[in-house]
Amino acid sequence: MSNDLGYRPTGTTDHHYGSPQSSEHSGAQPYSAEPTRSEQRSTPNIADRFADLLAPLSARRRRGLIARLSVGYYEGWRPSRAEVAELVAQELRRSPR
């Protein structure tokens, strides 16, 4: 088989220099620039180790608290579980939004 330029190495046969298999035949998944849902979730974030503490919060309050944790992280704050538990308790005591 020749390549796009018409070059075929001497002494080779199609058996050794065959065309590459397409993804249909090889069982490989086609390449996608978009990450899959599982790949999106695999990116670690500051709140991963506090997921159990954040669970009682609504999605909106959880995102807000994660944003606060993220800002604090970049300002050098490394909260303990007790600190995060207190922040969650404060959020739960506040009137519902």
Q: pLDDT 10s per residue in the chain (97 long)?
A: 545 555 555 555 555 444 445 444 555 555 555 655 555 566 888 889 999 999 999 999 999 999 999 999 999 999 999 999 999 999 999 866 6
pLDDT at 6 (0 to 100): 55
Note whether residue 79 is domain-resident.
yes
pLDDT at 57 (0 to 100): 95
Q: Concatenated DSSP letters for 1-37?
A: ---TTS---TT--TTTSPPPPPHHHH-PPPP-SSPPH
pLDDT at 43 (0 to 100): 81
pLDDT at 9 (0 to 100): 54
Give how many domains the chain has, as a whole number. Answer: 1
Full domain range(s) for residue 49 = 45-97
Note whether residue 40 is domain-resident.
no
Note whether residue 95 is domain-resident.
yes
Note whether residue 77 is domain-resident.
yes
Cα–Cα distance, 23 to 93 (Å, whole number): 55
pLDDT at 44 (0 to 100): 83
Note whether residue 33 is domain-resident.
no
